[in-house]
Amino acid sequence: MFNLNKKDLSLLIIVAVLTLFAPFILNPFPAGSAMAQFNAGYPDLMQRFVIFGIFAIGFNILFGLTGYLSFGHAAFLGVGSYAAVWMFKLLSMNVIPAILLAVIVSGLFSLLIGFVSLRRSGIYFSILTLAFAQMMFALAYSVLTPITGGETGLQLALNDPRILGVSQTAEGNIPVPGLFGLEMRDSADLVIGGWVFTFNVGYYFCALVLLASFYLAIRIFRSPFGMMLRAVKSNQQRMNYTGLNTRPYTLAAFVISGMYAGLAGGLMASMDPLAGAERMQWTASGEVVLMTILGGAGTLIGPVLGAGFIKYFENIFSKINDNVLHSWFSFLPDGLEDAVVFIIHPFIGKGWHLTLGILFMLVVIFLPGGLVEGGQRIRSWLKNRKTKDNGSASHETNPAE
């Protein structure tokens, strides 16, 4: 099916189940319970899960397959956002043209930057991509203010000359992004007992784009082109000695990766039509590196898991404060309750980066292959245990063997 082998089809089905049933999976606790703090099934966060999953999938095509570590991929994310918002301002509030323009513009920028940066490899390539990204970040804040909006960012306005749409609604408001009559912010709630499950149009649109992006990544990984990229990562110098020019392959991988980033930027603007230069900062580029390594660089599903893991911590753990902690540990004596809150306090709220850093260190030290390696180890342990149990049962029923 879909020209995929059994293993790849299973991965695609797993990703489809995780994304399509996310409103149920991410809301395990009743809305009024103390543990509802850990629920993540609301539209804005679910959209971030899948959008940054697309961003990480694209980055993994470059880093995971070729070994080229880019510290400037957030530049393409920002360029895609700006292109999408300009399409909303000038043409239509339909998200399809905006996303297409975001992908095309990001692809052109990545072609230019990749053509220069790929003249070097290793740390020099990484520094070049970082330099280009910071230059674009600085330009967006200063010289290109008429195009980017500077510090305030690029926003929609009531006087936008929208060719295929209205500049303002009948109520005098700014139109919102939509897809052939469906607004991205439209949602429907399903209440079952104490649980509230929200189904959002924007999230499911992003989820379908994620599935298409994941499928395309599988085809790239299994193609002869993907094998060439793995050969580059294995020993590029040996390939050059054989007379094979590897630059077209690495440049193609860089451009594809940049277009994925532009797609993610276009989706971000489609969910919230605002583009700011902060999306192009080096910290955003470092974040996608963490997502890919944490999930498992070079694996198919790893970047998606890594993106979800980091975004979960960013949005959930950062909202836990001392009042929440006191409500959790109120059953303890006053002195002990205060001591427990004092110990946990540095790891939550504004200090959530400390918790993420510790978890990242543990994963790198004990699971070099990321979360995917952890899942593989658990599966191997369960398989060995099942085999051992079956062997013991066989031995008991056949004592003569």
pLDDT tens digits for range 164-215: 877 888 787 888 898 888 898 899 988 888 888 999 999 999 999 999 999 9
Output the CA–CA distances (angstroms, integers) from residue 177 to 97, 163, 203, 242, in the order listed: 11, 15, 13, 52
d(CA 129, CA 257) in angstroms, rounded, equals 13
d(CA 319, CA 157) in angstroms, rounded, equals 32
d(CA 113, CA 295) in angstroms, rounded, equals 27
Nearest Cα to Cα of residue 83 among 257, 282, 264, 281 = 264
Query: For 275-288, what is the mean pLDDT?
Result: 87
Identify whether the C-beta of residue 222 lies closer than 8 Å to the C-beta of residue 27.
no
pLDDT tens digits for range 35-69: 788 888 888 999 999 999 999 999 999 999 999 99
- Which H or E element spans position 191? strand 187-192
d(CA 213, CA 10) in angstroms, rounded, equals 16
pTM of the model: 0.91
What torsion, rounded to 10 degrees, do the Cα atoms 325, 329, 332, 336 define?
-30
d(CA 124, CA 121) in angstroms, rounded, equals 6
pLDDT tens digits for range 338-358: 898 888 888 888 788 888 888
Is beta strand 274-275 parallel, antiparallel or unpaired with respect to 154-155?
A: antiparallel
The reported pLDDT for the residue numbered 52 is: 95
The reported pLDDT for the residue numbered 265 is: 94
pLDDT tens digits for range 315-327: 887 888 888 888 8
The reported pLDDT for the residue numbered 360 is: 84
By the 10 Å C-beta count (0-12 exposed, 13-18 middle, 19+ buried), 197 is classed as middle
Strand-pairing partners, residue 195, are 192
d(CA 97, CA 103) in angstroms, rounded, equals 10
Of all residues in the chain, the percent with pLDDT exceeding 90 is 43
Which residue carries 């490899």 as its tokens?
Answer: 121
d(CA 275, CA 289) in angstroms, rounded, equals 22
Query: For 141-157, what is the mean pLDDT?
Result: 87
Kindly tell me if the per-residue pLDDT of 5 is higher than 60: yes
Query: Which one has a higher pLDDT value, 22 or 388?
Result: 22
Write out the DSSP string of 192-236: ETTEEEEEEHHHHHHHHHHHHHHHHHHHHHHSHHHHHHHHHHHHH
